[in-house]
Structure 1
Amino acid sequence: MNWTLELIVVPVSDIDRAKAFYVDKAGFDVHVDHSAGEDFRVVQLTPRGSACSIALMSTTGMAPGSLKGLQVCVSDLDAARAELAERGVDVSDVFHFGASGQAPGYDPQRTDYNSCFTFDDPDGNSWLIQEVGSRA
Structure 2
Amino acid sequence: MLALEVVPLPVADVDRALAFYVGQAGFTLDVDYGPTPHFRIVQLTPPGSACSVHLVAADSHSRVHDLCLVTSDLEAERAKLIDRGADVSAVRHKDPVETWAGGWSMGLDPEHRDYASFADFADPDGNTWILQERSHRAR
Q: TM-score normalised to the size of structure 1?
A: 0.89
* Alpha carbons of structure 1 residues 66 and 43: separation in structure 2 relative to 1, 3 Å: same
Aligned to 1:112: 114
* Aligned 1:84-103 pairs, distance under 5 A: 84-98=81-95, 99-103=100-104
**Hey, what's the Cα distance between the residues in 2 that align with 1:134 and 1:100?**
23
Q: In the alignment, is residue 44 of structure 1 matched against residue 43 of structure 2?
A: yes
Task: Determine which of 124, 127, 133 is the counterpart of 2:126.
Answer: 124
**Hey, what's the Cα distance between the residues in 2 that align with 1:130 and 1:64?**
26
Unaligned runs of 5+ in 2: none
- Contact 2:117 2:133 survives alignment (8 Å): yes
Q: Percent identity?
A: 47
1:57 is matched by which residue type in structure 2?
A: V
For structure 1, which segment, 94-103 or 82-91, has the greater mean C-alpha deviation from structure 2 after superposition? 94-103
2:79 is matched by which residue type in structure 1?
A: A
Unaligned runs of 5+ in 1: none
* Aligned 1:1-136 pairs, distance under 5 A: 2-59=1-58, 63-64=60-61, 66-98=63-95, 99-103=100-104, 104-133=106-135
2:66 is matched by which residue type in structure 1?
A: G
1:68 is matched by which residue type in structure 2?
A: H
* Alpha carbons of structure 1 residues 76 and 40: separation in structure 2 relative to 1, 3 Å: same
**Hey, what's the Cα distance between the residues in 1 that align with 2:62 and 2:80?**
23
Query: RMSD of the alignment, in Å?
Result: 1.9
1:3 is matched by which residue type in structure 2?
A: L
- Contact 1:95 1:102 survives alignment (8 Å): no
1:97 Cα offset (Å): 2.3
How many residue pairs align between the two structures? 132
Q: TM-score normalised to the size of structure 2?
A: 0.87
* Alpha carbons of structure 1 residues 65 and 118: separation in structure 2 relative to 1, 3 Å: farther
SS at match of 1:93: coil
**Hey, what's the Cα distance between the residues in 2 that align with 1:87 and 1:134?**
23
**Hey, what's the Cα distance between the residues in 1 that align with 2:91 and 2:15?**
30
1:36 Cα offset (Å): 4.0
Any runs of at least 4 consecutive aligned residues in structure 1 with deviations exceeding 4 A, and if so which? none
For structure 1, which segment, 125-134 or 114-123, has the greater mean C-alpha deviation from structure 2 after superposition? 125-134
